[in-house]
Chains A and B, each alone.
Chain A
Amino acid sequence: MDSYAIRTEGLTKVYKDFWRRKSTSALTNLNLTIERGEIFGLLGPNGSGKTTTVKLLLGLLFPTSGKSWVLGYPSGNLTVKRKLGFLPEESYLYKFLNAEEILDFYAKLFDIQKKERKRRIDALIHEVRLDHVRKRPLSQYSKGMLRRIGLAQAIINDPELVILDEPTSGLDPIGSREMKDLILEFKRQKKTVVLCSHLLADVQDICDRIAIFNKGVLQVTGTVKELLSQNDAIEFVVKNLSDNDIQAVKAFVESRNGNVLSVDHPSSTLEDLFISIIQRR
């Protein structure tokens, strides 16, 4: 068994125009490995090649050159799709169906037995907090609701690998936090998660490793800590220190040729503040 969840070798995609002439290079010579069980973030601005990479991995697009493997199988292989969950960047769902019907439809595509289907559908609808609208057609759902039912369909088969394209787009801060908690729960369940996003804070919070794309080229890859840490600076977070003590510490650091850049109170994120206020009420 391939130890990598995803592996690409020289993966390149060039879009052609109507006359089959090469027009846009969407992805160039991508060499990437994603380990099993890690949360991997694909970062980059719009049009940087993130979604093209995902579509190549799913077999929705065919590479111009290069190869890719997903869970040890060539991309697009039907066997691997049994172990794969995909949430597209927008919720492309059949709006005439309700939550139960759409999940039932996708579950049937995995040949899941009726009893098991029912159990999973009930559990997932509860998990994504859509119990109260489970019989309502998706055409009447808000964007956030659609995102949540989209996530439910992506994990209806209890996949080994989950590919999430902009999972938090359209979600309110609570929904966004729940989505991130769910992704961390996937990690605890030893699932591999590939996260495409341009919301850097989301990626920083939950990803083990990231890759940054620009204009179809992989710029950098590594753990979040590796990429963000400033090795020439040290940060202390200390509690219960008086003003005099602070001055003493500052003087001590400077006496040792250290350069104090800032002395401040640490602040939580706006998201943490929002969640704490909402949950308090």
Chain B
Amino acid sequence: MIQTIAIHTLRESLRKKTLHVLIGLGILIMAVLPLIPTTDEPDATVKMILVVFFQVVVLLCISGVILLSATSLPYEIEDKTIYGILSKPISRLKVIVGKITGFALLSVVLLVILSLFNLISVYYRASNLPEEYRGILKARTEFTASHFSIEGTLHHTREGIAWIAGGGTGVAQWSFSDIQETHETTPGFETECNLKLESGRGFIDTVPLMVRTVNDSTGRGKSEVVIAKVDKPFILKIDPEMVQKNSILNITVFPILTTDYIGVTHMDVKVFSVPKGFLSNYAKAIFITFLKFLLILIIAVMGSTYLSAPVSIVSAFVLFLCGHILEFIKDFSLLIQHHDMHEHAVPAVLKTPNILLVYMDYLIKKPLEWICFILPDFRRFDSLKFLLNGVDIPLETVGASFGYTIVYAGICLFISCIVLKKREFF
């Protein structure tokens, strides 16, 4: 019976003009995208295609799904078609689950259709890219340095960035351990260096660097001269033999010319393994996006069990928005806390025990914290950053998103059932 309601809901949704317009608009946006001029970077168009898909097209579809799922039940109640269903031998729980399943199926249909267009577009554009820019089509596993140090002379430190002068007076070193233990089957590794470059030679585009990669146990290594471009990371291949079990991989970098400087931090050099292709990573990103759809549609359906159609739509959109700005809400509550803690921030008139400050904690900060705790956290479903950086989405991230959705959806479903069970149909 759940299946019957689900298919009925899907069929009803697919016949709605709202959805046709949204799908058409989504496809139109993706078709027009390659024609829009971008920056000179060769992979800029591919990145833009991905960004627009995950942030604009997906948002359009989510809006459509919210509109449909938030209004389905209120319209059934308003049109009294709910009488026809509830006079049949089907429980109200099954009606709700059926509706949710129907909208989940609708989300799958939307995501499959639009992501296929997106994939074709991405592959078509990426196939024309030079080899060094095809990193976006990879699904690499990221390793950050277990240890970072400066050997020799540190020229100066500014805003947390250590600056080294050229000529070998100072050398930055990043050490990576346990890479091979984690990914023994990895066919290859690469290093991505994203350093800040400056030069006393005036305005220059490139700085020659010496990069040395050494296996600490065997002493085997390779030195390369790299002409690094300002504001552009560079990638170096690492021989798989160089990365061995229980050994440490050291990467050292310094500018060759004495007139040049590099600014470095712990996170500026990373090692990536390339275990999987873009397609599997893209599938994971779409799955995470589907979970996002699922969560918001369950929230919308939950609201619709009690609220009228317009109120249900507005509340679903508000929750969706708030779920994306939890950081801002939390920051706001911290602002109040800091205001409370730092006496200098409090005007003199308020320095004496003040009822406003005393109760601000209870009136604003604590409620905000509770709201952040209750609101759905949609930031968990951001898979775009992985795709843009060509980083493999860890299974832990997928699992955590899945688990979060299941728990949150379960609670919403429980509330929906309680509300609908108590509801009367006049």
Contacts and interface: CB of A to CB of B under 8 A. Distances in A.
A40 interface: no
Given A78-B91, A108-B4, A59 B81 contact: no
Interface in B222-270: none
A82 interface: yes
A62 interface: yes
A59 B86 contact: yes
Contact of B87 (A15, A58, A90, A94): A58
- 3 A-B pairs closest in CB distance: A92-B80, A81-B89, A86-B87
Contacts of A41: none
A96 B12 contact: yes
A42 interface: no
Interface string A73-96: 000001101101010101011101
Interface residues of A, number: 26
B342 interface: no
Interface in A82-122: 82, 84, 86, 88, 90, 92-94, 96, 105-106, 108-111
A92 B4 contact: no
A82 B84 contact: no
Given A92-B79, A92-B80, A93-B81, A109 B425 contact: no
A94 B13 CA distance: 12
15 contacts: A60-B86, A61-B424, A61-B425, A61-B426, A78-B89, A78-B91, A79-B89, A81-B87, A86-B87, A88-B80, A94-B12, A109-B4, A109-B85, A109-B88, A110-B89
Interface of B is mostly: loop
Interface in B1-24: 1, 4, 8, 12, 15
Given A81-B87, A93-B84, A106-B88, 5 more contacts: A60-B83, A62-B424, A92-B83, A109-B85, A153-B84
A257 B138 CA distance: 112
A187 interface: no
Interface string B87-111: 1111100000000000000000000
Contacts of B81: 92-94
Nearest to A56: B424
Contacts of B86: 58-60
Contacts of B1: 108-109, 111
Interface of B: 1, 4, 8, 12, 15, 79-81, 83-91, 424-426
Contacts of B15: 96
Nearest to A61: B424
A153 B85 CA distance: 11
Interface of A: 15, 55, 58-62, 78-79, 81-82, 84, 86, 88, 90, 92-94, 96, 105-106, 108-111, 153
A86 B81 CA distance: 12
Nearest to A137: B15
B83 A86 contact: yes
Contacts of A81: 87-89
Nearest to B1: A109
Contacts of A88: 80, 83-84
Nearest to A92: B80
Contacts of B89: 78-79, 81-82, 109-110
Contacts of A94: 8, 12, 81
Given A81-B89, A111-B1, A55 B425 contact: yes
Contacts of A79: 89
